């Protein structure tokens, strides 16, 4: 083999090893229940204190046919309509809109800042 072939092979192996390492290392956010402990602004707290979403309202908020697009995490209902991946299919990574996704969120690799970016709709009444 010529020298350029060996160099190309070495580069391909190095890139493949880097990709495997990046995807194989465990995500420190996956399985961390402390990420549910988000901070709320005074406006969000007011919403949580004054707006209650029933289980039926949550179940109906599936993003389909002009319906609201809600997701509950740890008793807080969030509006997912600002996230195109939710609006397009009504689900994201197998999680359906209109459901309580607390356990799935804890298992996910998302960090606390993802919850912080989601608009609060109200508190889920169980």
Query: Of 27, 24, 30, 53, nearest to 104 (Cα)?
Result: 30
| Segments forming the whole domain that contains residue 82 | 31-124
Hey, what are 22's tokens? 């990046």
Q: How far is the CA of 28 from the CAs of 32, 74, 115, in angstroms? A: 8, 20, 16
**What percent of the chain has a predicted confidence (pLDDT) above 70?**
95
89 within a domain of the structure (yes/no): yes
DSSP character at residue 110: -
Residue 112 CA neighbour count, 13 Å, CB half: 9
Decide if pLDDT at 101 tops 70: yes
Q: Which residue has the higher pLDDT, 4 or 74?
A: 74
Cα(100)–Cα(126) distance, integer angstroms: 11
Q: What is the pTM (predicted TM-score) of this model? A: 0.76
Rounded CA-CA distance 65/81 in Å is: 12
Is 12 domain-assigned?
no
The total of structural domains in the chain comes to 1
For residue 49, being part of any structural domain is answered with: yes
The whole-number pLDDT of residue 24 equals 66
Q: What is the pLDDT of residues 32-51, one digit of tens each?
A: 888 888 899 999 999 999 99
At 123, give phi and psi (nearest 5°): -105, 140
Question: Please, which residues bridge with residue 92 across strands?
Answer: 95
Higher pLDDT, 53 or 94: 53
Residue 70 lies in a domain: yes
**Where does the pLDDT of residue 123 fall: very low under 50, low under 70, confident under 90, or very high at 90 and above?**
very high
Q: Is residue 20 part of a domain?
A: no
Instruction: Identify the CATH number of the domain in which residue 86 sits.
Output: 3.10.120.10
């Amino acid at each position: 083999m010529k020298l350029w072939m060996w160099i190309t092979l070495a580069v391909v192996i190095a890139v493949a090893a880097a990709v495997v390492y990046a995807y194989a290392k465990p995500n420190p956010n996956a399985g961390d229940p402390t990420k549910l402990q988000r901070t709320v602004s005074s406006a969000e707290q007011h919403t949580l204190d004054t707006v209650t979403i029933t289980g039926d309202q949550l179940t109906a908020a599936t993003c389909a046919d002009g319906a609201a697009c809600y997701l509950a995490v740890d008793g807080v209902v969030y509006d997912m309509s600002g996230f195109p991946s939710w609006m397009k299919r009504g689900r994201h990574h197998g999680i359906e809109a209109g459901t309580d996704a607390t356990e799935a969120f804890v298992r996910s690799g998302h960090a606390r800042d993802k919850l912080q970016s989601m608009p609060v709709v109200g508190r889920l009444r169980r």
